[in-house]
Amino acid sequence: MTIKTIGVIGAGQMGNGIAHIFALAGLEVLLNDVDANALSEAKDKIHAAMERQIAREIITGQDAKAALSRISTTGALPDLGQTDLVIEAATEKEPIKHAIFAELVPHLKDDTILTSNTSSISITRLASGTDRPERFMGFHFMNPVPVMQLVELIRGIATNEETYQTLKGLVADIGKTSASAEDFPAFIVNRILMPMINEAVYALYEGVGTVESIDTSLKLGANHPMGPLELADFIGLDTCLSIMNVLHEGLADTKYRPCPLLVKYVEAGWLGRKSARGFYDYRGDTPVPTR
């Protein structure tokens, strides 16, 4: 199947990034969100991200202008029904995803491929609530989408080979690299990454180190570009907690138990960069550790 039009559900950081890369690759993109403000700001945010690429001489001004002309927005989910591929990038809450698919499915073309950008939720379970489990896959982009090269491809139990090969070819066409993962909780990247972040929070919780010493140790001692607590703030502490809960519930192993301190930060609304406070306080000119 040839993919020419893309529907993206969710105009947050992930959805905007996905729209950005597909528009640059020459595909028509229809971006949807329930939040009218998010939609009105979407193109400005994508334009700002492209301006950074222009400054780094990754793309030209003409490339950006052409790409932005390929992105349109809609608040009506059924409008995405005539696209060739739909990528759901809404919040990481399974009931919300099921509700989105239930509303969208009656409006889809017969051959439309339906995907989720979920970072941890069962693809088989999401697909089972639709009319096309054989044309449903996990299509997991990394954040920030324009920068990160990897896309995880996750087949549900019913996903057919044509769907898999179509998406694998599409990833190659947009200049990214795919990695195939089995449909187990959190797949590959987050199955490994999130327990590391959770263990860093435990080290903080138990007083093994401070925010600064833990992040410095991993950056200089393991050559990580970003410390685990800084990375957690970038991802969003609510997202980290959600993925840890999926791992803990799905695999029933105590090693995946979310750290109580991570739970406490989320309860406080200290979710990281997006709320201006997490393991660091971002309200000033320079981030300051909160512990």
**Residues annotated as catalytic (active site), given as ranges:** 119, 140, 152, 190
Burial label for 122, CB within 10 Å (0-12, 13-18, 19+), is buried
Q: Check: CB of residue 232 under 8 Å from CB of residue 279.
A: yes
Residue 144 preceded by cis peptide, ω within 30: yes
Q: Check: CB of residue 223 under 8 Å from CB of residue 208.
A: no
Rounded CA separation 152/276 (Å)? 29
Residues 61-64: contacts with CB under 8 Å, at least 24 apart: 63/24
Sequence-distant (≥ 6) Cβ neighbours of residue 41 within 8 angstroms: 11
Rounded CA separation 282/270 (Å)? 11
For residue 141, the tally of other CB atoms under 10 A from its CB is 22
DSSP state of 119: S
Ramachandran class of 207: left when φ > 0, alpha when ψ lies in -120 to 50, beta otherwise: left
- Residue 23 tokens read as 């528009």
